[in-house]
Amino acid sequence: MYEIFVDGSVRCGNPGLAGIAMFVRRNGKCVYKYSWLLPRDATSNEAEYEAVIAALTYLKTSNEVYKMGREKCVIVTDSQLVYGHVIRNWKCNFPHLRILRDEVKNRLRELPFNVDIRQMAREENEIANELAQAITEKEKERRGNGRI
């Protein structure tokens, strides 16, 4: 089974300096982990969506994943909002978030295999959370507490 744990982090305001992270586990073993900064300031909700989109991009482009055959694949987020919009069909009140929600739904449909999205407590998403926070904190320090 593939599990992709994702998270977004924002520093220096909301919107602010934003980073996302992904931790991929196959049958309990880490096969990939990465974090990166978004090229623009973002809200925490936008960062959470961007992390899910990054996971879907990984699934679409990774040769490793295409070898998985019929293994189960799950994207795990700690964002209640993203999970609620995408899986539970909660009303999405903000146009900029609707665009991101629709992109996630479209990418899910484009994959040649099923992907579940699961929501878990932030404390249980520790590795992705630490990766996302570390990249934004490092950039904040590089900039001098967020000043450009």
Domain definitions of the chain by residue range: 2-143
Angle formed by the axes of helices 44-61 and 126-143, nearest 10°: 120
> Three-state SS for 8?
strand
Tokens of 132: 């996302």
Q: From first to last of its 148 residues, what are the pLDDT tens digits of the chain?
A: 899 999 999 999 999 999 999 999 999 999 999 999 999 999 999 999 999 999 999 998 887 676 766 678 999 999 999 999 999 999 999 999 999 999 999 999 998 888 999 999 999 999 999 999 999 999 999 988 655 5
Euclidean distance between CA atoms 55 and 132, whole angstroms: 14
Report the predicted TM-score, pTM, of the whole model to 2 decimal places: 0.94
Euclidean distance between CA atoms 145 and 5, whole angstroms: 28
Euclidean distance between CA atoms 38 and 88, whole angstroms: 27
**Class of 2-143 in CATH:** alpha beta
- HSE-up (13 A, CA, CB side) for residue 20: 25
Euclidean distance between CA atoms 116 and 87, whole angstroms: 9
What are the backbone dihedrals phi and psi of residue 48, each rounded to the nearest 5 degrees, phi first? -65, -45
Residue 70: predicted pLDDT: 67
- Give the pairing type, strands 29-37 and 17-26: antiparallel
